A and B are shown apart, each in its own frame.
Chain A
Amino acid sequence: MCLAVPGKILSISTEDPVMPMARVSFGGIVKEVNLAYVPTAKIGEYVIVHVGFALSTLDEAEAGRVFKYLESMGELAELEEPSA
């Protein structure tokens, strides 16, 4: 139930200003998503969606950290030299 998945905003409608709605694509499957909690989200951005509500906008810069983290810790170099 707590599953929340990333999707890309295709379009935004602000007919009801309290509850802006977006069409969000999840790998091709498009759903209506409530943007009340991410009012500054823009078309083309990725949002984390849970039970019909976007809860955050994904930060592209932070998104790559998991791939570079070990390098930045110097951990990979150590692994290559088991004596370290």
Chain B
Amino acid sequence: MKFMDEYRDAAIAKQYADAIRSTVTRPWNIMEICGGQTHAIVKFGIDELLPPDLSLVHGPGCPVCVTPLEIIDKALSIAARPEVIFCSFGDMLRVPGSTTDLFSVKAGGGDVRIVYSPMDAVKLAAANPDREVVFFAVGFETTAPANGMAVFQANRLNLKNFSILVSHVLVPPAMEAILSSPLNCVQGFLAAGHVCTVMGFTEYEPLATKYKIPIVVTGFEPLDILQGIYMCVKQLEEGRAEVENQYSRSVRRDGNFPAQEILRQVFRIIPRKWRGVGEIPQSGFGLAEEYSSFDAEVRFGLADYTAEESAECISGLVLQGQKKPFECPAFGTRCTPEHPLGATMVSSEGACAAYYLYRRRKTPSVAVSS
């Protein structure tokens, strides 16, 4: 496919790998934020092309993985109600809640439907006025414009039987949380290209300056990722800490204005819990006052519910780049994509699932005690 296949050229990939090798003179840790990039890195073996001194740490950029347990539990409770049609992206169905998952609720008779776009849920609400249609609005800044437009449209159509369960998270506050942790090992970032397609990249400039860290906005194909890594190590070696844009075919400095305008109208910035990580200040979207009647948590009386996460799963450390999946004692044994203990094993964009799919030989390691 045009704009995809040509970015997988092995000869040019090798040139980038050679250029990276000749540039790196000492050890560096670079974090890719986005789960889509983690998936591509592990799938195409990009990390194995890099010099041993350069390590890629996998960031918290998989929305399925960071959706907190209590939101999953709320989804399960809403989806089990007989009057509800519960709509979700397919990859949320197997995410384990405290006791079960959406897939099991569906098997038990819950009307759970997989939709391709949140607009499909709006159409369902218009076509089924006697049912409550709830859409599970998860995702980063990439997905928020679509979900925001669904609410905007439901409001325009005056739909009273549509609501969304919101668990939107934002990338820059998560990067700041990683950088300000005393355990931080990240020295450079590959920022998520599609998040920046929406938001632009000016909000990363204060981070680059404050934490003296290079940030390269990067695409998703192998050559994009290799070029992003090359630009990042070049900055590190030269002692620069700037925001650069590798993914310029899609990302403009100021992002997408009409999309940002809908986000400003429909949402407001609030503190959010991240699964395995905990609460990060001002790190997510909730519905704006004007659209609060579309809030499923309020509609179904669930706003005050909280839940405790399992102690065995170390996905929080994986999500912050402090552990690799195969350092988890449950990896590949008690925890597999068929029976996930944590959300990073559920989504194919989650680091644990990506390692399980493409790196089975590394099951489980002895390095756990460190």
- With both beta carbons as reference points, the residue of chain A lying nearest to B234 in the complex is identified as A73
Instruction: Tell me the count of chain B residues lying within 8 A, CB to CB, of chain A.
Output: 58
Chain A residues lying within 8 Å of B224, measured Cβ to Cβ, are 66
In the bound complex, CA of A39 to CA of B345 (Å): 38
In the bound complex, CA of A52 to CA of B251 (Å): 19
In the bound complex, CA of A73 to CA of B230 (Å): 11
Q: Counting chain A CB atoms within 10 Å of each CB, which of B35, B197, B249 scores highest? A: B249
Q: Counting chain B CB atoms within 10 Å of each CB, which of A53, A65, A79 scores highest? A: A53
A1 touches B91 (CB 8 A): yes
B22 touches A52 (CB 8 A): no
Q: Counting chain B CB atoms within 10 Å of each CB, which of A1, A5, A8, A48 scores highest? A: A1
Q: Which of B73-81, B114-122, B177-185, B293-301 contacts A (4 or more CB under 8 A)?
A: B114-122
B249 touches A51 (CB 8 A): no
B159 contacts partner chain A, Cβ-Cβ < 8 Å = no
Contact with B along A46-84 (1 / 0, CB 8 A): 101011110110111011011101100101101100000
A1-B63 contact in complex given A39-B258, A50-B142, C-beta closer than 8 Å: yes
Q: Interface of B with A (CB < 8 Å)? A: 1-4, 6-7, 9, 12, 15-16, 18-19, 22, 34-36, 61-64, 89, 91, 116-120, 138-140, 142-143, 145-146, 149, 153, 156, 192, 194-195, 197-198, 220, 223-224, 227, 230, 246, 248-252, 256, 258-259, 347, 349
Q: Interface of A with B (CB < 8 Å)? A: 1-6, 8, 18-19, 26-27, 34, 36-39, 46, 48, 50-53, 55-56, 58-60, 62-63, 65-67, 69-70, 73, 75-76, 78-79
